[in-house]
A and B are shown apart, each in its own frame.
Chain A
């Protein structure tokens, strides 16, 4: 370890440039990751928001409406259904138009339809639900916001793909720059590597110090980036709380786990830190491996 620290100190400009490249990449990656997680959580939340609203004829008996509601509940495609009776609809109407007495005078609860507001478990079920409702008797109109839903799904896909491409770009760029930086450093140790080869050192023995150096840099860069971003997020917490008011929680699915990203959750941040460590270490290991390869032909 002493030798590795000495090696880092002996080439301060190369160490600094490697650190800055890793820091820049990891800083951007962590920001991107947290932003994408929040966005993804928000989109997942919004995906469950679009609703189908079925307005019943005023003559439709309540029993028939409940029958439709029960059938939908049994389908497994519905997250929740809210029944709004004529009297409740009138209450809402009155609340919405409380500043307009003329409109209040003209309307009674008899002319407002009862309705079912349906929240699907997945947005892809909404057209099916709408079609089912269309087949039922006693329904005057079925509304569902297909265009908004489609745009939301497209946006989710673009954000996911865009993030992946940007991550790959950052990864590739860092590997190229770090390989070049490490090559400069190794060129200074060319004679030592040559000697080690001739006295029987294995490739892994020769590579080890460079890979450990890279790992140290990756760990340092990801820790510094993470701490800075954490400080910013904690500072911004009151603004976020105000901005996201009304959204009880946001969660994101990461391969095998569901992480709550909002309200701020230590497990999500621990996972972010571990991922950034893995990302930084991956870049460092690959760069060191590629750089040493040039001098390790037997």
Chain B
């Protein structure tokens, strides 16, 4: 379970990214984070990943408080969270197999396990034929699918996606979202997006942010700008 309790995040120059935000997300829940640019969506994802810590309030991921300075617990948390970035963050000097394998290598998986599991997820995202191809030879949609494969490999319980369709055309966006749909009920999925069509068609829980405040928390909701 993910629990935000009166979380405020201020940056050193004084701008406020989040203000008194509280919500809970259950295990295996599918949630959209929506709101205009600068509303605080990415900050929430960064707090879950302990890429930053709140200025006040608490963020609990299961029993782990992200404000705690515990190096080993932080590593453990990150090994349970997969993240998909808007700009993919695919390593250009590694082929697709190696890019996905990184997610397992960091947890010390064996060579055999890596081979089997990488092929499994590549098949799931429809890239089984391209494991030896380098990123430069792939389209944006395919790169995003590689990023998703890397994020879901290794039984990560939570999947975060920061504007996963932000750089994709509508058709490719739907293809990518279909992959998230396949994972529904298997992992906790939190997707930060602007895409109203996608949010409205999925009919999932929506957390709406505006100016760092949580203005709406709607079960099976939709979204209007």
Residues of A within 8 A of B (CB): 6, 10, 191-192, 195-202, 205, 298
Contacts of A196 in B (CB 8 A): 102, 106
Q: B106 to A201, Cβ gap below 8 A?
A: yes
- What residue in chain A is nearest B151 (Cβ atoms)? A199
CB distance from B157 to the nearest CB of A (A): 12
Given contacts A10-B93, A191-B89, A298-B74, contact A199 B51 (CB under 8 A): no
CB distance from B223 to the nearest CB of A (A): 27
Bound CA–CA A195/B51 (angstroms): 11
Partner among B79, B91, B150 whose Cβ is within 8 Å of the Cβ of A192: B91
Q: A200 to B78, Cβ gap below 8 A?
A: yes
Bound CA–CA A202/B75 (angstroms): 7
Q: A198 to B75, Cβ gap below 8 A?
A: no
Report the 3 A-B pairs with minimum CB-CB distance, sorted nearest first.
A200-B79, A200-B78, A201-B106
Bound CA–CA A197/B71 (angstroms): 12
B107 CB within 8 Å of chain A = yes
Q: B78 to A198, Cβ gap below 8 A?
A: yes
Contacts of B78 in A (CB 8 A): 197-200
Bound CA–CA A196/B76 (angstroms): 13
Q: B51 to A200, Cβ gap below 8 A?
A: no
Known: A197-B78, A200-B80, A200-B106. 18 other contacts (CB 8 A): A6-B93, A191-B89, A191-B91, A195-B89, A195-B91, A195-B102, A196-B106, A198-B78, A198-B83, A199-B78, A199-B79, A200-B77, A200-B78, A200-B81, A200-B107, A201-B106, A202-B106, A298-B74
Contacts of B81 in A (CB 8 A): 200
B63-77 Cβ-contact flags toward A at 8 Å (1 or 0)? 000000001001111
Q: List 7 A-B contacts (CB under 8 A).
A: A196-B106, A199-B78, A199-B106, A200-B78, A200-B106, A205-B105, A205-B106
Bound CA–CA A10/B94 (angstroms): 13
Bound CA–CA A33/B22 (angstroms): 67
Q: B102 to A199, Cβ gap below 8 A?
A: yes
Give the total of B residues in contact with A, Cβ under 8 Å: 23
Contacts of B71 in A (CB 8 A): 298
B113-157 Cβ-contact flags toward A at 8 Å (1 or 0)? 000000000000000000000000000000000000010000000
Q: B75 to A200, Cβ gap below 8 A?
A: yes
Contacts of A6 in B (CB 8 A): 93
Bound CA–CA A89/B193 (angstroms): 107
CB distance from A173 to the nearest CB of B (A): 32
B189 CB within 8 Å of chain A = no
Contacts of A201 in B (CB 8 A): 75, 106
Bound CA–CA A195/B82 (angstroms): 11
Contacts of B102 in A (CB 8 A): 195-196, 199
Contacts of B75 in A (CB 8 A): 200-202, 298
- What residue in chain B is nearest A10 (Cβ atoms)? B93
Q: A198 to B93, Cβ gap below 8 A?
A: no
Bound CA–CA A201/B81 (angstroms): 12
Bound CA–CA A199/B51 (angstroms): 11
Bound CA–CA A198/B93 (angstroms): 19
Contacts of B106 in A (CB 8 A): 196, 199-202, 205
Bound CA–CA A191/B88 (angstroms): 11
Contacts of A198 in B (CB 8 A): 49, 51, 78, 83
Contacts of B82 in A (CB 8 A): 199
Given contacts A10-B93, A191-B89, A192-B91, contact A199 B103 (CB under 8 A): yes
Bound CA–CA A77/B199 (angstroms): 96
B95-115 Cβ-contact flags toward A at 8 Å (1 or 0)? 000000011011100000000
Bound CA–CA A205/B78 (angstroms): 14
B40-56 Cβ-contact flags toward A at 8 Å (1 or 0)? 00000000011100000
Bound CA–CA A56/B117 (angstroms): 95
CB distance from B92 to the nearest CB of A (A): 9
Bound CA–CA A202/B106 (angstroms): 7
Given contacts A191-B89, A192-B91, A205-B106, contact A199 B83 (CB under 8 A): yes
Contacts of A192 in B (CB 8 A): 91
Bound CA–CA A10/B106 (angstroms): 23
Query: Which of B14-62 touch A at CB < 8 Å?
Result: 49-51
Contacts of B107 in A (CB 8 A): 200
CB distance from A296 to the nearest CB of B (A): 10
Bound CA–CA A205/B75 (angstroms): 12
Bound CA–CA A205/B50 (angstroms): 19
- What residue in chain A is nearest B71 (Cβ atoms)? A298
